[in-house]
Amino acid sequence: MGKGGQDEGVKDRSEPSALTFPAWARSIEECEAEFKVNAEEGLRSEEVLSRREKHGLNELEKHSGPSIWQLIIEQFNDTLVRILLVAAVVSFVLAWYDGDEGGEMGITAFVEPLVIFLILIINAAVGVWQENNAEKALEALKEIQSEHATAKRNGEWVHDLPAKELVPGDIVQLRVGDKVPADMRVVSLISSTFRVEQGSLTGENASVNKTSHKVDSEDTDIQGKECMVFAGTTVVNGSCICLVTQTGMNTEIGKIHSQIHEASQEDDDTPLKKKLNEFGESLTAIIGIICALVWLINVKYFFTWEYVDGWPRNFKFSFEKCTYYFEIAVALAVAAIPEGLPAVITTCLALGTRKMAQKNALVRKLPSVETLGCTTVICSDKTGTLTTNQMSAVKLVAIGRWHDTLRSFKVDGTTYDPHDGKIHDWPSDNMDENLQMIAKIAAVCNDASVAQSGHQFVATGMSTEAALKVLVEKMGLPAGYKSASLDSSETLRCCEWWNSTAKRVATLEFDRTRKSMGVIVKSKKGNNSLLVKGAVENLLERSTHLQLFDGSVILLNESSKALILETLREMSTSALRCLGFAYKDDLAEFATYDGENHPAHKLLLDPSNYSSIETNLIFVGLVGLRDPPREEVYKAIEDCRAAGIRVMVITGDNKETAEAICRDIGVFRPDEDIRLKSLTGKEFMSLSDKKNLLKQQGGLLFSRAEPKHKQEIVRLLKEDGEVVAMTGDGVNDAPALKLADIGIAMGITGTEVAKEASDMVLADDNFSTIVAAVGEGRSIYNNMKAFIRYMISSNIGEVASIFLTSALGIPEGLIPVQLLWVNLVTDGPPATALGFNPPDKDIMKKPPRRSDDSLITPWILFRYMVIGLYVGIATVGIFIIWYTHGSFMGIDLTGDGHTLISYSQLSNWGQCSSWEGFKVTPFTAGSQNFTFDTNPCDYFQTGKIKAMTLSLSVLVAIEMFNSLNALSEDGSLLSMPPWVNPWLLLAMSVSFGLHFLILYVPFLAQVFGIVPLSLNEWLLVLAVAFPVVLIDEVLKFVGRCMNASDSRRRSEKYKVE
């Protein structure tokens, strides 16, 4: 690995100790010794070259994807496609053979193979396009890498050094806004604090502080490596000096790159594709058997012999007749294959994506629409999906009238919108001195800002500080200072007012030791004071006094401190992030501080002095904040439970916070024992029997999860037969998104890497959108099942028709080009319209279908065998009726003047040349006149054109009526009338219109070998076709009775148990 995908140097990748050296658990001196570098000098040029030879360039590998020819060949691995290909090749050869004889029928014969080839080319093109998009996640991953770095070489800083030239041991300087170019160990901080945004890698919802101090454990997760910075993350505060420990594919982002590539190699077929492949294999066997049967039945017509002395002699073989029956076998294959199915499935899925887009679910890969319908487990991230990813104040605690009383205010709102929610029991017209001081500290000791962007409010800076500013807006202004006097266009009007009353002159930045931030402010009267916010325990330790309700200050005694700490403990138990507020007016040497020229300024240059400045504070109150759950999530979780879908929360956040959120949104009940249902990623990986844990009913929570943990969970669930939907927004989520059956990325907060690796993107980052999409997926699957059954039942009818023709020995009633027209064009509109069937009202009350559930149950197969048999009898029957009957069911058929013959003559038409005195009178069909004076036997070839037209018209009419049967699997047309789906009625009209087109346009009629029909003949067609509705109504009634009986048995069995 290494060298940007080059091979050279690969053999040396095991040599560098960087791969195994736990730099986070070693002192700076040990790290310098290990990497043979001095932080003051950096690496020498010759050492850089030596290490680059060993480790390669600092860039991600380029995996060579499959070639375009490999992708094209892969598209023909589908069983149905292979059958189509064979049918097309055979049809082409036969057309070529016919073409040698010339004539119009030779040209017609080429239509069928060319259409099939066109279908295959379009199908392959779509498949190649989808496959080509698979590796885009890897390209997006490369875009988040840093391009330049500042490194120390030969004792001097080299600016704008290409990041790919970094090697392990390089000394690098990082500043605010920099992208970290490699995995590095922090050597020293230049600023007092150094913060990095690594949420895209770890899932944490806030930037994290970094230190140069080593951690105690070698075996720790990414979040625990507080002295390490990782490639692809961003510096949001401060600056520091670092030592490069890993580069290229050995970085954390490099490992994710490898995992995405591995996951992309494991792409499984969707449940529907697996079923269609199984169906294709069964179809292959059935076609083979029926074709063989057809040949065996008709072998007597093209291969004969005589018995002499008990032995067969004088063998005779007719190549012409052999070819004719071979064409019948090809027609049989064309009839059995639902050629239009791939196109109709694609159309239905595309329509499904439009419906989902209206619900904020943007589908990137068409098959995902169907897979959503059988989702059994949703593995959801917490931050931003189940929660708003917008920190909000939920509880404000102020001091009461006496030292032993506290006041608590509940705060509503889940976003950064200052008008979202209110503070309950708030004294809006009379804000006391204590509440005013809390508002002042929250507004002024704060570096965040909130602005309106479109319909949303967006925070800049720390999310906790943004939440405090929103809280100040909800608190309002003291009596006498109405907000009407402020600029109404300003989002943070109250905060601006407080900042105007107290001008900041110095900032004591936050650090991990004292866990607080302070600002020195100058009032309008010219007095200086210190405002501090930070961890409640730390502020209490440095506080000596307490401000009461009316602004009076008293000594902070032990009982008051105990009361505040008890309140803090209760709030922390509810997973609230708590911040305390304090101030002091007696600033000693800073009482007159006014800037850098003041004598006391030198004390502010050393952050170690901040703790001593922030002493003898006056404590005023505290606030509880959290990333609140989305309001609609609770109902969405309940819907999942009703639909039999398990919800697992997998987050990088800490355990206590995640557990509290899970109880709030209904993943866990308030009183549920979750000791075996809530684990950290590391605890889960240490289990010996992980699968049993994942099989537990109800919700599960995995906190502090890393990418490898998410992948392992998804892999084990899939092995157990679950259909897994996985949500994610960060780079760290990409491998699991790729591995899951449905990868769902966040549209607002999601990285491009996550989006490219996903199958679906949530435009609103909302969990409830996933649940709505699952319901839509189920509805689409049911509709797809309806049109698949409809098309398959039609094909069974066509096969029955050809088989009966062959078995009875009558002339061919349907030719391949006609069957192709029916399968592709006539059946297409009704099949597509069935995709618009309205969803069942209880669609999200049923458990998810199993991925191995049969597409066609034995009962449904029996039903369609019965229907298919009727289609065969009707199409063959009307062919026989035209030849043998002058009228049928009172309908006169002699208007065209054709000659009637006996059924015996029809079934033995091959012996026509030996019949003595056989004559046929001319007859008319449309504007054409058919005469048979020279060859009466041509009555069974050219003369069958009217009978063929009747057979084709009956087939089309039956299939239109049959589409009405497909509206519901078991529901009668009386309970679900045709107008519940007006698109189906329109589609039936279109299909009949297309059939009229080929009947009454002379050129098209010639291509398809048919002629126009009279009114009487159309009446006969409808009379023969309509009974298919009555037959299926009887079968549906039997099906309803069987289902009711099964339901009673199940309920009785349940009562017994």
Give the residue numbers marked as catalytic: 381
**How far is it, in rounded angstroms, from Cα 722 to Cα 716?**
9
Structure tokens at 179: 């992208």
Where do we find the tokens 């088989």?
A: 803
Structure tokens at 86: 């064979």
**How far is it, in rounded angstroms, from Cα 60 to Cα 163?**
12
Structure tokens at 665: 């949104």
* Cα 1009 from chain centroid (whole Å): 48
**How far is it, in rounded angstroms, from Cα 709 to Cα 987?**
50
Q: 321: phi > 0 → left, psi -120 to 50 → alpha, else beta; which?
A: alpha
| CB-count burial class (<10 Å; 0-12, 13-18, 19+) for 99 | middle
**How far is it, in rounded angstroms, from Cα 900 to Cα 898?**
7
**How far is it, in rounded angstroms, from Cα 654 to Cα 645?**
25
Q: 480: phi > 0 → left, psi -120 to 50 → alpha, else beta; which?
A: left
Close Cβ partners of 398 (under 8 Å, ≥ 6 residues apart): 406, 407, 409, 434, 435, 438, 549, 620, 621
| 849 DSSP assignment | P
From 643, 633, 640, select the one nearest 665 (Cα to Cα). Answer: 633
Close Cβ partners of 25 (under 8 Å, ≥ 6 residues apart): 214, 215, 216, 217, 218, 220
Geometric angle at alpha carbon 348, from 344 and 349, rounded to 5°: 120
Q: How many C-beta atoms lie closer than 10 Å to residue 413's C-beta?
A: 22
Q: How many C-beta atoms lie closer than 10 Å to residue 838's C-beta?
A: 11
CB 369 within 8 A of CB 273: no
CB 627 within 8 A of CB 383: yes
Structure tokens at 673: 């024992």
Close Cβ partners of 532 (under 8 Å, ≥ 6 residues apart): 441, 445, 508, 516, 517, 518, 539, 581, 582, 583, 614, 617
Beta pairing partners, 649? 380, 701
CB 733 within 8 A of CB 710: yes
CB 701 within 8 A of CB 659: yes
Stated as kind and residue range, the H or E segment containing 543 is: strand 543-547
CB 403 within 8 A of CB 560: yes
**How far is it, in rounded angstroms, from Cα 55 to Cα 48?**
10
Three-state secondary structure string covering 692-746: HHHCCCCCEEEECCCHHHHHHHHHHHHHCCCCEEEEECCHHHHHHHHHCCEEEEE
Amino acid at position 462, single letter: M
Geometric angle at alpha carbon 1039, from 1038 and 1043, rounded to 5°: 120
CB 574 within 8 A of CB 660: yes
**How far is it, in rounded angstroms, from Cα 77 to Cα 245?**
46
Geometric angle at alpha carbon 414, from 412 and 415, rounded to 5°: 120
**How far is it, in rounded angstroms, from Cα 959 to Cα 1026?**
10
Structure tokens at 386: 């189940």
